Structure 1
Protein backbone atom coordinates (compact mmCIF):
# COMPACT_ATOMS: atom_id res chain seq x y z
CA UNK A 1 0.00 0.00 0.00
CA UNK A 2 1.26 3.48 -0.92
CA UNK A 3 -0.24 6.34 1.10
CA UNK A 4 -0.73 9.21 -1.34
CA UNK A 5 -3.92 10.94 -0.18
CA UNK A 6 -2.41 13.75 1.89
CA UNK A 7 -2.93 17.42 1.08
CA UNK A 8 0.80 18.20 1.09
CA UNK A 9 0.28 21.48 2.92
CA UNK A 10 3.99 22.02 3.63
CA UNK A 11 4.73 21.75 -0.10
CA UNK A 12 2.24 24.44 -1.09
CA UNK A 13 1.90 26.11 -3.53
CA UNK A 14 3.43 23.19 -5.48
CA UNK A 15 0.71 20.83 -4.26
CA UNK A 16 -1.98 23.16 -5.55
CA UNK A 17 -0.79 21.93 -8.95
CA UNK A 18 -0.05 18.25 -8.27
CA UNK A 19 -0.55 15.80 -5.41
CA UNK A 20 2.62 15.36 -3.40
CA UNK A 21 3.38 11.87 -4.70
CA UNK A 22 3.43 13.24 -8.28
CA UNK A 23 5.62 16.29 -7.66
CA UNK A 24 8.59 15.97 -10.06
CA UNK A 25 11.88 15.03 -8.42
CA UNK A 26 15.06 14.61 -10.46
CA UNK A 27 13.34 13.32 -13.57
CA UNK A 28 10.59 11.21 -12.02
CA UNK A 29 8.13 11.20 -9.08
CA UNK A 30 8.08 9.48 -5.70
CA UNK A 31 5.03 7.48 -6.77
CA UNK A 32 6.83 6.24 -9.89
CA UNK A 33 9.90 5.40 -7.81
CA UNK A 34 7.91 3.20 -5.44
CA UNK A 35 5.99 1.58 -8.29
CA UNK A 36 9.25 0.53 -9.95
CA UNK A 37 10.79 -0.59 -6.66
CA UNK A 38 7.82 -2.75 -5.71
CA UNK A 39 7.50 -4.22 -9.19
CA UNK A 40 11.20 -5.17 -9.19
CA UNK A 41 10.78 -6.84 -5.78
CA UNK A 42 7.97 -9.10 -7.06
CA UNK A 43 5.25 -8.01 -4.65
CA UNK A 44 1.82 -9.42 -5.41
CA UNK A 45 0.14 -6.08 -6.09
CA UNK A 46 -0.01 -2.41 -5.18
CA UNK A 47 -2.92 -0.27 -4.00
CA UNK A 48 -2.67 3.51 -3.72
CA UNK A 49 -5.05 5.82 -1.89
CA UNK A 50 -5.88 9.25 -3.30
CA UNK A 51 -7.86 12.27 -2.19
CA UNK A 52 -6.18 15.49 -3.33
CA UNK A 53 -6.31 15.78 -7.14
CA UNK A 54 -7.10 12.07 -7.49
CA UNK A 55 -7.68 12.34 -11.23
CA UNK A 56 -3.96 12.93 -11.71
CA UNK A 57 -3.00 9.80 -9.78
CA UNK A 58 -5.62 7.77 -11.66
CA UNK A 59 -4.37 9.00 -15.04
CA UNK A 60 -0.72 8.48 -14.13
CA UNK A 61 -1.16 4.91 -12.95
CA UNK A 62 -3.43 4.11 -15.88
CA UNK A 63 -0.57 5.07 -18.22
CA UNK A 64 1.87 2.61 -16.65
CA UNK A 65 2.44 -0.97 -17.72
CA UNK A 66 2.24 -3.08 -14.60
CA UNK A 67 3.28 -6.70 -14.15
CA UNK A 68 1.01 -7.02 -11.11
CA UNK A 69 -2.46 -5.88 -10.00
CA UNK A 70 -2.55 -2.17 -9.27
CA UNK A 71 -5.49 -0.17 -7.99
CA UNK A 72 -6.30 3.36 -6.82
CA UNK A 73 -8.76 3.90 -3.97
CA UNK A 74 -10.19 7.42 -4.13
CA UNK A 75 -11.37 8.70 -0.76
CA UNK A 76 -14.54 10.83 -0.71
CA UNK A 77 -13.31 12.38 2.51
CA UNK A 78 -9.77 12.38 3.85
CA UNK A 79 -9.53 9.21 5.94
CA UNK A 80 -6.14 9.76 7.54
CA UNK A 81 -3.41 7.15 7.70
CA UNK A 82 -5.40 4.54 9.61
CA UNK A 83 -8.62 5.06 7.69
CA UNK A 84 -6.78 4.97 4.38
CA UNK A 85 -5.11 1.67 5.21
CA UNK A 86 -8.40 0.19 6.48
CA UNK A 87 -10.15 1.27 3.29
CA UNK A 88 -7.65 -0.72 1.20
CA UNK A 89 -7.58 -3.82 3.40
CA UNK A 90 -9.73 -6.02 1.16
CA UNK A 91 -7.15 -5.64 -1.64
CA UNK A 92 -4.79 -7.88 0.38
CA UNK A 93 -7.20 -10.82 0.70
CA UNK A 94 -6.28 -11.44 4.31
CA UNK A 95 -2.54 -11.53 3.64
CA UNK A 96 0.13 -9.49 5.47
CA UNK A 97 1.11 -6.30 3.69
CA UNK A 98 3.61 -3.45 3.57
CA UNK A 99 2.61 0.21 3.82
CA UNK A 100 4.85 2.97 2.46
CA UNK A 101 4.31 6.69 3.02
CA UNK A 102 4.13 8.44 -0.35
CA UNK A 103 6.49 11.28 0.58
CA UNK A 104 9.63 9.32 1.41
CA UNK A 105 12.52 8.00 -0.66
CA UNK A 106 14.72 5.17 0.57
CA UNK A 107 16.60 2.08 -0.55
CA UNK A 108 15.05 -0.33 1.95
CA UNK A 109 15.05 -3.94 0.64
CA UNK A 110 11.34 -4.32 1.30
CA UNK A 111 11.03 -7.91 0.16
CA UNK A 112 13.81 -9.08 2.48
CA UNK A 113 12.42 -7.00 5.32
CA UNK A 114 8.96 -8.47 4.72
CA UNK A 115 10.44 -11.95 5.01
CA UNK A 116 12.08 -10.98 8.30
CA UNK A 117 8.73 -9.62 9.49
CA UNK A 118 7.04 -12.94 8.75
CA UNK A 119 9.78 -14.91 10.49
CA UNK A 120 9.38 -12.78 13.61
CA UNK A 121 5.77 -13.93 13.93
CA UNK A 122 4.65 -10.44 14.99
CA UNK A 123 1.42 -8.72 13.91
CA UNK A 124 3.01 -5.30 13.52
CA UNK A 125 6.57 -4.21 12.75
CA UNK A 126 7.81 -0.69 11.94
CA UNK A 127 11.05 0.08 10.12
CA UNK A 128 13.09 2.53 12.17
CA UNK A 129 16.43 4.27 11.70
CA UNK A 130 18.64 6.78 13.45
CA UNK A 131 17.91 10.26 12.10
CA UNK A 132 18.44 12.90 14.83
CA UNK A 133 16.11 15.46 13.24
CA UNK A 134 13.21 12.98 13.44
CA UNK A 135 14.12 10.75 16.42
CA UNK A 136 10.86 10.65 18.40
CA UNK A 137 10.06 6.94 18.70
CA UNK A 138 10.96 5.17 21.97
CA UNK A 139 12.45 1.67 21.64
CA UNK A 140 13.51 -0.56 24.51
CA UNK A 141 16.45 -2.96 24.59
CA UNK A 142 14.24 -5.79 23.31
CA UNK A 143 13.14 -3.88 20.23
CA UNK A 144 9.67 -3.05 21.50
CA UNK A 145 8.26 0.34 20.50
CA UNK A 146 6.86 1.99 23.62
CA UNK A 147 5.98 5.53 22.59
CA UNK A 148 5.72 8.20 19.91
CA UNK A 149 6.30 11.94 20.09
CA UNK A 150 6.16 13.57 23.51
CA UNK A 151 5.62 10.34 25.43
CA UNK A 152 8.68 8.88 23.70
CA UNK A 153 10.82 11.85 24.73
CA UNK A 154 9.54 11.53 28.30
CA UNK A 155 10.36 7.80 28.39
CA UNK A 156 13.87 8.47 27.12
CA UNK A 157 14.43 10.98 29.93
CA UNK A 158 13.18 8.59 32.60
CA UNK A 159 14.59 5.24 31.48
CA UNK A 160 18.17 4.35 30.62
CA UNK A 161 17.09 1.34 28.53
CA UNK A 162 15.17 3.52 26.06
CA UNK A 163 16.69 4.92 22.90
CA UNK A 164 15.09 7.30 20.45
CA UNK A 165 14.81 6.41 16.78
CA UNK A 166 12.97 7.79 13.75
CA UNK A 167 10.09 6.12 11.95
CA UNK A 168 10.79 5.65 8.24
CA UNK A 169 7.14 5.64 7.20
CA UNK A 170 7.32 1.92 6.33
CA UNK A 171 4.94 -0.42 8.17
CA UNK A 172 4.65 -4.23 8.04
CA UNK A 173 1.15 -5.21 9.12
CA UNK A 174 -1.10 -8.23 9.49
CA UNK A 175 -4.78 -7.52 8.78
CA UNK A 176 -5.96 -8.17 12.35
CA UNK A 177 -4.14 -5.03 13.51
CA UNK A 178 -6.65 -2.76 11.79
CA UNK A 179 -9.56 -5.08 11.04
CA UNK A 180 -11.52 -3.60 13.96
CA UNK A 181 -11.52 -0.07 12.50
CA UNK A 182 -14.73 1.08 10.84
CA UNK A 183 -14.51 1.33 7.06
CA UNK A 184 -14.89 4.75 5.46
CA UNK A 185 -14.20 6.68 8.67
CA UNK A 186 -11.09 8.76 9.48
CA UNK A 187 -8.53 7.08 11.72
CA UNK A 188 -4.99 7.90 12.80
CA UNK A 189 -2.70 4.88 12.52
CA UNK A 190 -0.41 6.14 15.29
CA UNK A 191 -3.44 6.20 17.61
CA UNK A 192 -3.95 2.52 16.77
CA UNK A 193 -0.32 1.81 17.61
CA UNK A 194 -0.57 3.73 20.88
CA UNK A 195 -3.62 1.70 21.84
CA UNK A 196 -1.70 -1.51 21.24
CA UNK A 197 1.10 -0.23 23.46
CA UNK A 198 -1.45 0.53 26.21
CA UNK A 199 -2.82 -3.02 25.86
CA UNK A 200 0.64 -4.56 26.20
CA UNK A 201 0.91 -5.48 22.51
CA UNK A 202 3.49 -2.97 21.28
CA UNK A 203 4.81 -2.83 17.73
CA UNK A 204 8.24 -4.32 17.14
CA UNK A 205 11.10 -2.36 15.61
CA UNK A 206 13.06 -3.46 12.56
CA UNK A 207 16.23 -1.92 11.16
CA UNK A 208 18.06 -2.00 7.83
CA UNK A 209 21.76 -1.18 8.29
CA UNK A 210 23.13 1.57 6.06
CA UNK A 211 19.66 2.72 5.04
CA UNK A 212 19.44 5.71 2.69
CA UNK A 213 16.28 7.63 3.64
CA UNK A 214 15.00 11.08 2.78
CA UNK A 215 11.62 12.79 3.19
CA UNK A 216 10.03 15.26 0.83
CA UNK A 217 7.48 16.92 3.06
CA UNK A 218 8.56 20.55 2.70
CA UNK A 219 9.94 23.00 0.15
CA UNK A 220 13.30 22.93 1.93
CA UNK A 221 13.42 19.12 1.80
CA UNK A 222 12.38 19.20 -1.87
CA UNK A 223 15.32 21.42 -2.77
CA UNK A 224 17.73 19.47 -0.58
CA UNK A 225 16.75 16.26 -2.37
CA UNK A 226 17.58 17.74 -5.78
CA UNK A 227 20.94 19.01 -4.59
CA UNK A 228 21.83 15.70 -2.99
CA UNK A 229 20.72 13.60 -5.95
CA UNK A 230 22.88 15.69 -8.28
CA UNK A 231 25.98 14.72 -6.30
CA UNK A 232 25.22 11.02 -5.76
CA UNK A 233 26.64 8.34 -8.08
CA UNK A 234 24.85 7.81 -11.39
CA UNK A 235 22.19 5.13 -11.06
CA UNK A 236 22.25 5.30 -7.26
CA UNK A 237 18.46 5.18 -6.90
CA UNK A 238 16.72 4.36 -10.18
CA UNK A 239 14.64 5.93 -11.74
CA UNK A 240 15.84 9.20 -10.14
CA UNK A 241 18.41 11.05 -12.24
CA UNK A 242 21.45 11.07 -9.97
CA UNK A 243 25.03 12.14 -10.56
CA UNK A 244 24.21 15.00 -12.92
CA UNK A 245 23.44 18.57 -11.88
CA UNK A 246 21.98 19.38 -15.30
CA UNK A 247 19.18 17.22 -16.68
CA UNK A 248 16.47 17.72 -19.25
CA UNK A 249 13.69 15.50 -20.45
CA UNK A 250 14.20 14.23 -24.02
CA UNK A 251 11.15 16.22 -25.13
CA UNK A 252 12.42 19.50 -23.65
CA UNK A 253 14.14 22.19 -25.73
CA UNK A 254 16.95 24.36 -24.36
CA UNK A 255 18.32 27.05 -26.67
CA UNK A 256 22.03 26.68 -27.35
CA UNK A 257 22.91 30.10 -25.93
CA UNK A 258 20.91 29.65 -22.71
CA UNK A 259 23.15 29.50 -19.65
CA UNK A 260 22.49 26.80 -17.06
CA UNK A 261 24.34 26.70 -13.74
CA UNK A 262 24.07 24.83 -10.45
CA UNK A 263 21.32 22.20 -10.31
CA UNK A 264 18.87 22.58 -13.20
CA UNK A 265 16.08 20.15 -14.13
CA UNK A 266 13.99 20.76 -17.26
CA UNK A 267 10.76 18.78 -17.50
CA UNK A 268 8.84 17.30 -20.40
CA UNK A 269 7.97 19.62 -23.30
CA UNK A 270 9.42 22.64 -21.51
CA UNK A 271 11.25 25.28 -23.54
CA UNK A 272 14.11 27.53 -22.49
CA UNK A 273 14.57 30.26 -25.09
CA UNK A 274 17.60 32.29 -26.12
CA UNK A 275 19.66 34.48 -23.77
CA UNK A 276 18.16 32.92 -20.63
CA UNK A 277 20.11 32.21 -17.45
CA UNK A 278 18.93 29.49 -15.06
CA UNK A 279 20.76 28.83 -11.81
CA UNK A 280 19.44 26.22 -9.36
CA UNK A 281 16.08 25.87 -11.06
CA UNK A 282 13.52 23.08 -11.40
CA UNK A 283 11.16 23.39 -14.35
CA UNK A 284 8.19 21.06 -14.35
CA UNK A 285 6.36 20.06 -17.54
CA UNK A 286 5.17 22.39 -20.34
CA UNK A 287 6.99 25.44 -18.99
CA UNK A 288 7.94 28.30 -21.33
CA UNK A 289 10.93 30.42 -20.31
CA UNK A 290 10.85 33.43 -22.59
CA UNK A 291 13.95 35.04 -24.13
CA UNK A 292 16.22 36.89 -21.71
CA UNK A 293 14.61 35.48 -18.57
CA UNK A 294 16.78 35.06 -15.47
CA UNK A 295 15.76 32.48 -12.85
CA UNK A 296 17.70 31.81 -9.65
CA UNK A 297 16.67 29.37 -6.92
CA UNK A 298 13.23 28.89 -8.43
CA UNK A 299 10.73 26.09 -8.95
CA UNK A 300 8.41 26.62 -11.92
CA UNK A 301 5.29 24.44 -11.99
CA UNK A 302 3.44 22.94 -14.94
CA UNK A 303 2.38 25.22 -17.77
CA UNK A 304 3.85 28.48 -16.47
CA UNK A 305 5.08 31.09 -18.96
CA UNK A 306 7.79 33.12 -17.26
CA UNK A 307 9.78 36.18 -18.21
CA UNK A 308 11.89 38.82 -16.49
CA UNK A 309 13.92 38.24 -13.32
CA UNK A 310 12.89 35.87 -10.53
CA UNK A 311 14.91 34.78 -7.51
CA UNK A 312 13.90 32.49 -4.65
CA UNK A 313 10.37 32.05 -5.97
CA UNK A 314 7.90 29.26 -6.63
CA UNK A 315 6.00 30.07 -9.79
CA UNK A 316 2.61 28.47 -10.43
CA UNK A 317 -0.18 29.37 -12.82
CA UNK A 318 -2.57 31.88 -11.29
CA UNK A 319 -5.54 29.66 -12.13
CA UNK A 320 -4.11 26.68 -10.17
Structure 2
Protein backbone atom coordinates (compact mmCIF):
# COMPACT_ATOMS: atom_id res chain seq x y z
CA UNK A 1 0.00 0.00 0.00
CA UNK A 2 2.79 2.40 0.89
CA UNK A 3 6.54 2.52 1.29
CA UNK A 4 6.35 4.29 4.65
CA UNK A 5 8.65 2.07 6.72
CA UNK A 6 7.53 0.05 9.70
CA UNK A 7 9.06 0.76 13.10
CA UNK A 8 11.27 -2.32 13.00
CA UNK A 9 13.06 -1.10 9.86
CA UNK A 10 13.71 2.48 10.95
CA UNK A 11 16.89 3.53 12.77
CA UNK A 12 16.32 4.18 16.45
CA UNK A 13 17.98 7.57 16.01
CA UNK A 14 14.69 8.91 14.63
CA UNK A 15 13.63 12.17 16.27
CA UNK A 16 10.57 11.68 18.46
CA UNK A 17 8.37 14.75 19.06
CA UNK A 18 8.47 16.04 22.63
CA UNK A 19 5.27 18.10 22.52
CA UNK A 20 1.71 17.69 21.31
CA UNK A 21 -1.52 19.60 20.94
CA UNK A 22 -4.88 17.96 21.61
CA UNK A 23 -7.72 19.75 19.83
CA UNK A 24 -10.45 19.80 22.47
CA UNK A 25 -12.20 23.11 21.80
CA UNK A 26 -15.09 21.91 19.64
CA UNK A 27 -18.74 22.48 20.50
CA UNK A 28 -19.83 18.83 20.19
CA UNK A 29 -23.27 19.79 18.84
CA UNK A 30 -23.94 16.32 17.38
CA UNK A 31 -23.50 14.81 20.84
CA UNK A 32 -26.45 16.69 22.31
CA UNK A 33 -28.18 16.28 24.72
CA UNK A 34 -25.10 14.83 26.46
CA UNK A 35 -23.05 17.90 25.59
CA UNK A 36 -25.67 20.25 26.95
CA UNK A 37 -23.96 19.78 30.31
CA UNK A 38 -20.45 18.44 29.57
CA UNK A 39 -17.93 19.13 26.79
CA UNK A 40 -17.53 16.32 24.28
CA UNK A 41 -13.90 15.50 25.26
CA UNK A 42 -15.21 14.45 28.69
CA UNK A 43 -17.69 11.92 27.30
CA UNK A 44 -16.69 8.52 28.67
CA UNK A 45 -16.12 5.43 26.55
CA UNK A 46 -15.40 2.18 28.42
CA UNK A 47 -14.87 4.12 31.63
CA UNK A 48 -12.39 6.63 30.22
CA UNK A 49 -12.97 10.08 28.77
CA UNK A 50 -12.28 10.65 25.09
CA UNK A 51 -9.67 13.20 26.13
CA UNK A 52 -7.87 10.73 28.39
CA UNK A 53 -7.74 8.08 25.68
CA UNK A 54 -5.62 10.48 23.62
CA UNK A 55 -3.55 11.80 26.51
CA UNK A 56 -2.79 8.28 27.71
CA UNK A 57 -1.49 7.44 24.23
CA UNK A 58 0.75 10.51 24.35
CA UNK A 59 2.02 9.59 27.82
CA UNK A 60 2.81 6.06 26.65
CA UNK A 61 4.78 7.54 23.74
CA UNK A 62 6.89 9.55 26.17
CA UNK A 63 5.49 12.99 25.34
CA UNK A 64 6.49 15.44 28.05
CA UNK A 65 4.07 18.29 27.35
CA UNK A 66 0.62 18.42 25.81
CA UNK A 67 -1.25 21.61 25.00
CA UNK A 68 -5.02 21.19 25.29
CA UNK A 69 -7.13 23.95 23.76
CA UNK A 70 -10.50 24.69 25.33
CA UNK A 71 -13.57 26.74 24.41
CA UNK A 72 -16.91 25.14 25.37
CA UNK A 73 -17.43 24.61 29.13
CA UNK A 74 -13.66 25.05 29.55
CA UNK A 75 -13.69 25.00 33.36
CA UNK A 76 -14.80 21.35 33.33
CA UNK A 77 -11.87 20.30 31.15
CA UNK A 78 -9.40 22.32 33.22
CA UNK A 79 -10.69 20.75 36.44
CA UNK A 80 -10.57 17.25 34.97
CA UNK A 81 -7.00 17.67 33.74
CA UNK A 82 -5.84 18.84 37.15
CA UNK A 83 -5.64 15.21 38.25
CA UNK A 84 -3.23 14.21 35.45
CA UNK A 85 0.51 13.90 36.02
CA UNK A 86 1.68 12.87 32.55
CA UNK A 87 2.02 14.40 30.13
CA UNK A 88 2.34 17.87 31.64
CA UNK A 89 -0.73 19.81 30.55
CA UNK A 90 -0.76 23.38 29.27
CA UNK A 91 -4.18 24.92 28.65
CA UNK A 92 -4.66 27.12 25.59
CA UNK A 93 -7.75 29.17 26.38
CA UNK A 94 -10.04 29.92 23.43
CA UNK A 95 -13.10 30.59 25.56
CA UNK A 96 -13.55 34.07 24.08
CA UNK A 97 -13.35 32.92 20.45
CA UNK A 98 -13.20 29.50 18.82
CA UNK A 99 -10.21 29.41 16.46
CA UNK A 100 -10.90 26.17 14.54
CA UNK A 101 -8.22 23.51 14.16
CA UNK A 102 -5.39 25.49 12.57
CA UNK A 103 -6.08 28.73 14.42
CA UNK A 104 -5.89 26.84 17.69
CA UNK A 105 -2.54 25.36 16.72
CA UNK A 106 -1.13 28.73 15.69
CA UNK A 107 -2.16 30.22 19.05
CA UNK A 108 -0.39 27.35 20.84
CA UNK A 109 2.86 27.48 18.80
CA UNK A 110 4.89 29.23 21.54
CA UNK A 111 4.26 26.22 23.78
CA UNK A 112 4.84 23.65 21.06
CA UNK A 113 8.37 24.74 20.20
CA UNK A 114 10.44 24.73 17.03
CA UNK A 115 10.52 20.98 16.43
CA UNK A 116 7.85 18.69 14.94
CA UNK A 117 4.93 17.99 17.27
CA UNK A 118 1.94 15.68 17.47
CA UNK A 119 -1.60 16.82 16.67
CA UNK A 120 -4.46 14.78 18.13
CA UNK A 121 -8.21 15.18 17.82
CA UNK A 122 -9.89 14.87 21.20
CA UNK A 123 -12.94 13.03 19.87
CA UNK A 124 -11.25 10.03 18.26
CA UNK A 125 -9.01 7.33 19.69
CA UNK A 126 -7.66 3.89 18.90
CA UNK A 127 -6.57 0.58 20.37
CA UNK A 128 -3.00 -0.20 19.34
CA UNK A 129 -1.98 -3.55 17.95
CA UNK A 130 1.73 -4.23 18.30
CA UNK A 131 4.08 -1.24 18.37
CA UNK A 132 2.08 1.82 19.50
CA UNK A 133 0.96 3.87 16.53
CA UNK A 134 2.33 7.16 17.87
CA UNK A 135 5.77 5.56 18.10
CA UNK A 136 5.39 4.20 14.56
CA UNK A 137 4.37 7.66 13.40
CA UNK A 138 7.49 9.20 14.92
CA UNK A 139 9.71 6.55 13.38
CA UNK A 140 8.16 7.12 9.96
CA UNK A 141 8.60 10.90 10.16
CA UNK A 142 11.14 12.38 7.74
CA UNK A 143 11.42 16.16 7.99
CA UNK A 144 13.41 16.32 4.76
CA UNK A 145 10.49 14.90 2.79
CA UNK A 146 7.43 15.78 4.86
CA UNK A 147 5.68 18.80 6.29
CA UNK A 148 2.82 16.75 7.74
CA UNK A 149 2.49 13.00 8.37
CA UNK A 150 -1.01 11.64 9.00
CA UNK A 151 -2.06 8.46 10.73
CA UNK A 152 -4.58 6.68 8.51
CA UNK A 153 -7.19 3.99 9.09
CA UNK A 154 -8.88 1.58 6.73
CA UNK A 155 -12.67 1.59 6.66
CA UNK A 156 -12.66 -2.00 7.93
CA UNK A 157 -10.70 -1.09 11.07
CA UNK A 158 -12.92 1.83 12.00
CA UNK A 159 -15.96 2.08 14.26
CA UNK A 160 -18.33 5.03 14.18
CA UNK A 161 -17.16 6.50 10.88
CA UNK A 162 -20.19 7.48 8.80
CA UNK A 163 -18.45 9.24 5.94
CA UNK A 164 -16.27 8.13 3.06
CA UNK A 165 -12.50 7.98 2.74
CA UNK A 166 -10.18 10.99 2.87
CA UNK A 167 -6.88 10.17 1.15
CA UNK A 168 -5.27 7.91 -1.41
CA UNK A 169 -1.72 6.78 -0.67
CA UNK A 170 0.91 6.76 -3.44
CA UNK A 171 3.65 4.10 -3.48
CA UNK A 172 6.09 6.59 -1.92
CA UNK A 173 3.66 7.33 0.93
CA UNK A 174 2.56 10.77 -0.28
CA UNK A 175 -1.15 11.56 -0.19
CA UNK A 176 -3.82 13.09 -2.37
CA UNK A 177 -7.50 13.61 -1.69
CA UNK A 178 -9.49 10.44 -2.34
CA UNK A 179 -12.77 12.24 -3.12
CA UNK A 180 -14.59 9.29 -1.54
CA UNK A 181 -12.74 6.56 -3.47
CA UNK A 182 -13.40 3.31 -1.53
CA UNK A 183 -9.76 2.39 -2.05
CA UNK A 184 -8.76 5.36 0.11
CA UNK A 185 -8.09 5.64 3.83
CA UNK A 186 -9.52 7.77 6.66
CA UNK A 187 -7.57 10.46 8.47
CA UNK A 188 -7.43 8.91 11.94
CA UNK A 189 -7.12 12.11 13.96
CA UNK A 190 -3.40 11.89 14.76
CA UNK A 191 -0.52 13.55 12.94
CA UNK A 192 2.96 14.98 13.16
CA UNK A 193 3.50 18.47 11.76
CA UNK A 194 6.51 20.73 11.44
CA UNK A 195 5.88 24.23 12.84
CA UNK A 196 7.43 25.81 9.74
CA UNK A 197 4.16 25.25 7.86
CA UNK A 198 2.49 27.85 10.11
CA UNK A 199 5.10 30.56 9.50
CA UNK A 200 3.35 33.90 9.15
CA UNK A 201 -0.06 32.50 10.11
CA UNK A 202 -2.22 34.42 12.55
CA UNK A 203 -4.25 32.95 15.42
CA UNK A 204 -7.46 33.56 13.52
CA UNK A 205 -10.18 30.97 12.84
CA UNK A 206 -9.11 28.68 9.99
CA UNK A 207 -8.92 24.96 9.27
CA UNK A 208 -6.03 22.53 9.21
CA UNK A 209 -7.40 21.26 5.91
CA UNK A 210 -5.85 24.26 4.16
CA UNK A 211 -2.42 23.09 5.29
CA UNK A 212 -3.15 19.54 4.15
CA UNK A 213 -3.95 20.85 0.68
CA UNK A 214 -0.87 23.07 0.58
CA UNK A 215 1.31 20.09 1.57
CA UNK A 216 -0.37 17.92 -1.08
CA UNK A 217 0.44 20.51 -3.73
CA UNK A 218 4.09 20.47 -2.65
CA UNK A 219 4.25 16.67 -2.45
CA UNK A 220 4.94 16.92 1.29
CA UNK A 221 1.82 15.37 2.86
CA UNK A 222 2.46 11.75 3.76
CA UNK A 223 0.47 9.03 5.48
CA UNK A 224 1.08 5.99 7.65
CA UNK A 225 -1.56 3.24 7.90
CA UNK A 226 -2.19 2.42 11.55
CA UNK A 227 -2.24 -1.00 13.23
CA UNK A 228 -5.18 -1.76 15.46
CA UNK A 229 -8.71 -0.38 15.70
CA UNK A 230 -9.82 3.23 15.31
CA UNK A 231 -12.91 4.65 16.99
CA UNK A 232 -14.81 7.87 16.51
CA UNK A 233 -17.86 8.88 18.54
CA UNK A 234 -20.03 11.45 16.82
CA UNK A 235 -23.46 11.01 18.35
CA UNK A 236 -24.95 9.58 21.56
CA UNK A 237 -26.11 6.41 19.82
CA UNK A 238 -22.50 5.71 18.76
CA UNK A 239 -21.36 5.22 22.36
CA UNK A 240 -22.60 1.62 22.65
CA UNK A 241 -20.85 0.50 19.44
CA UNK A 242 -17.67 2.31 20.52
CA UNK A 243 -17.63 0.50 23.86
CA UNK A 244 -18.24 -2.82 22.13
CA UNK A 245 -15.37 -2.11 19.74
CA UNK A 246 -13.05 -1.35 22.66
CA UNK A 247 -14.00 -4.62 24.36
CA UNK A 248 -13.48 -6.63 21.15
CA UNK A 249 -10.14 -4.96 20.38
CA UNK A 250 -8.81 -5.49 23.90
CA UNK A 251 -9.98 -9.12 23.87
CA UNK A 252 -8.01 -9.72 20.67
CA UNK A 253 -4.84 -8.54 22.43
CA UNK A 254 -5.16 -11.05 25.27
TM-score range, shorter chain: 0.7 to 0.9
**Residue 234 of structure 1, CA deviation:** 5.9
| Bigger share in helix | 2
SS at match of 2:141: helix
Using the TM superposition, give the Cα deviation of residue 115 of structure 1 relative to its aligned residue in structure 2, in angstroms: 2.4
Aligned partner of residue 53 in structure 2, secondary structure: helix
Write the deviation string for residues 272-299 of structure 1: whole angstroms up to 9, x where unpaired: xxxxxxxxxxxxxxxxxxxxxxxxxxxx
Aligned residues: 223
In the TM superposition, 1:185-264 aligns within 5 A as 185-198=204-217, 200-208=218-226, 210-233=227-250
Higher relative contact order (CA 8 A, sep 6+): 2
Paired with 1:139 and 1:116, the residues of 2 have a C-alpha distance of 15
Answer yes or no: is the 8 Å Cα contact 2:58–2:87 preserved in 1.
no
SS of residue in 2 equivalent to 1:88: helix
Greater Cα shift, 1-10 or 216-225: 216-225
Classify the secondary structure of the residue corresponding to 1:113: helix
Q: Write the distance in 2 (CA, Å) between the matches of 1:205 and 1:232.
A: 23
1:131 maps to what in 2?
155
Q: 1:68 to 1:11 in 2, by over 3 A?
A: closer
Alignment RMSD, CA only? 2.4
Distance 1:225 1:19 in 2: 18
User: 1:125-171 CA deviation, whole Å, 9 max, x = no partner?
Assistant: 111121165413233333221226xxx24xx59xxxxx411110111
Identify which of 31, 43, 49 aligns with 1:29.
Answer: 49
Structure 1 match to 2:122: 102
Bigger Cα Rg: 1
Distance 1:103 1:139, change over 3 A: same
5+ unaligned residues in a row in structure 1: which ranges? 158-162, 237-242, 244-320
TM-score (norm 2): 0.79
TM-score (normalizing by structure 1) = 0.64
Q: How does 1:1-320 map to 2 (within 5 A)?
A: 1-64=21-84, 66-75=85-94, 76-106=96-126, 107=128, 108-118=132-142, 121-131=145-155, 134-147=164-177, 152-153=179-180, 163-183=183-203, 185-198=204-217, 200-208=218-226, 210-233=227-250
Q: List per-residue Cα deviations over 1:242-266 (Å, max 9, x = no partner).
A: x9xxxxxxxxxxxxxxxxxxxxxxx
The answer on whether the counterparts of 1:146 and 1:202 sit within 8 Å (CA) in structure 2 is: no
Pair 231,119 (structure 1): closer, same or farther in 2 beyond 3 Å = same
TM-aligned CA deviation for residue 95 of structure 1 = 1.4
* Shift of residue 215, structure 1, vs aligned partner: 0.4
State the distance in 1 between where 2:202 and 2:171 align.
34
- Asked whether the equivalents of residues 139 and 147 of structure 1 are also in contact (C-alpha less than 8 Å), the reply is no
- Distance between the aligned counterparts of 1:234 and 1:128, measured in 2? 23
Residues 217-226 or 127-136, more deviating = 127-136
Secondary structure at 1:212 match in 2: strand
